[in-house]
Amino acid sequence: MISININPETAVPLIVGVGSTVLAVLLMLINIPHSDYSVKLKNSKLAIVVSFLICSFMMFYAMSQYGSEAIWDWEMFMMLTIYIVVHFSTSIISYSMIALLKTEKHRGERYFVPGLFVSALVAFMLLESYKSANMTYFWFICIIALTAFLIQSITYIVYFDRAYKHSLKELENYYDEDESHKIKWVKFCYVISMLTNLFVLVYLGLYWWLDYKMEVASLYTLWYLIYMLYLSSNYISFIGSHRLVLDAFAHKTLSGEDLINKINENKRRKGKKQTDAPAPLNAVNEGEFRKLERSLDIWVQEKRYTEYDKSREEIAKELNTSKEVLHHYFLMRKGMDFKTWRTMLRIEEAKRLLLDNKDASINMIAEVAGFSDRSNFHRQFVKIVGCSPKQWRDSDGKPVLQ
């Protein structure tokens, strides 16, 4: 029977153990809407839950060992406990974050199960070497553990960086406005996680020179709980408020699978039609282009260009054409792509709104004009107009351009 010791020395492990348990239960109760992407998302959620439960188990295990004859240095034992938690979380959180970004299998997945096995083996060896009180054996195992931890962390950092850059590229290809802010929290959480891991290594390296070992260990343990809370809140927000992300952004955008399949299918169909009955391409384009021009006139009159969070496929459908025809039309007739043309319309709308509504905030003007991100609005405004939105408004639309 395991007995839990509750006293000032074990107060922090108790708080963190209870907190991580509550967060794990809360995440388990969160329902994920069904979509093609939901399988990966559920696996990602389950991985985070497991990470939190491991933290809970290790905290309660540490409390049960308090006062034991085998625990000759409680401060060191607490840092070994949190090190084991971090070692497991490196694999689990990395897997979870990469799963959020990519729906197809990635090379890092093959290291996930072996990584957990290594983490479990290292945890067992560390605890056994500590309890043996053989310092030579203990520090030898510590060196092995730290080496394995560094290799594991570097490996996952490399795969995460690749997945994140790939996701940004696919996101840009799918949406016409800058939507990168929707996944920046993933990178931020991952960077915090890696910095949290790094601090464990720094603490263990400076352990013998620290005067307030328990205080530092307690602060770090509480910080880890705050990190778990931050990760959970962002994750729940991602699930709950981005239905578009779940269905289109995350699955179709980040994997690009549907888009690639449709392009390949269109190419096969075009190739078959050309083989069966060759048709004059220019005549086909002219007919399509005339219909598209009429649709674009109506689309502009209705100011549909101010609507954001829409993919190119959705816009093409509104215009009763295909994404390929839309792209070809703008290159042939406008000398620019659709994205640039629509951005110019939005900026013109913003210029008018800035002068007609001087009491309205620039953020509100940006959103009304069709920009979901303020930084992107400011960047595009300066690029096209030559001055900032504020300078445009303050000069009544007559800025002194340098």
> For residue 257, what pLDDT is reported?
43
Q: Which helix (H) or strand (E) holds 270?
A: helix 257-276
% of residues, the chain, pLDDT over 70:
78
Residue 104, SS3 per DSSP = coil
> pLDDT, tens digit, for every residue of 137-153?
888 888 888 888 888 88
> For residue 79, what pLDDT is reported?
81
Confidence of residue 64 (pLDDT cuts 50, 70, 90): confident
Confidence of residue 233 (pLDDT cuts 50, 70, 90): confident
In three-state form (DSSP H/G/I as H, E/B as E, the rest C), the secondary structure along 305-346 is HHCCCCEHHHHHHHCCCCHHHHHHHHHHHHCCCHHHHHHHHH
Residue 107 has pLDDT above 60, yes or no: no
> For residue 349, what pLDDT is reported?
92
The per-residue pLDDT of the chain, averaged, comes to 77
| Residue that wins the pLDDT comparison between 204 and 290 | 290
Q: Which helix (H) or strand (E) holds 19?
A: helix 11-29
> pLDDT, tens digit, for every residue of 235-294?
877 776 544 344 333 334 333 344 444 445 555 655 554 444 444 444 446 777 888 888
> pLDDT, tens digit, for every residue of 157-196?
888 888 888 777 766 655 555 566 667 778 888 888 888 8
CA-to-CA separations, 105 to 39, 158, 163, in angstroms, rounded = 13, 16, 11
Select the highest-mean-pLDDT range: 203-207, 327-331, 339-343: 339-343
Residue 131 has pLDDT above 70, yes or no: yes
Token pair recorded at residue 330: 């703008």
Confidence of residue 350 (pLDDT cuts 50, 70, 90): very high
The DSSP string of 129-166 is HHHHT-HHHHHHHHHHHHHHHHHHHHHHHHHHHHHHHH
Distance CA 206, CA 150 (A): 17
> For residue 36, what pLDDT is reported?
55
Answer whether 0.85 is exceeded by the pTM: no
Q: Which amino acid is at 98?
A: I
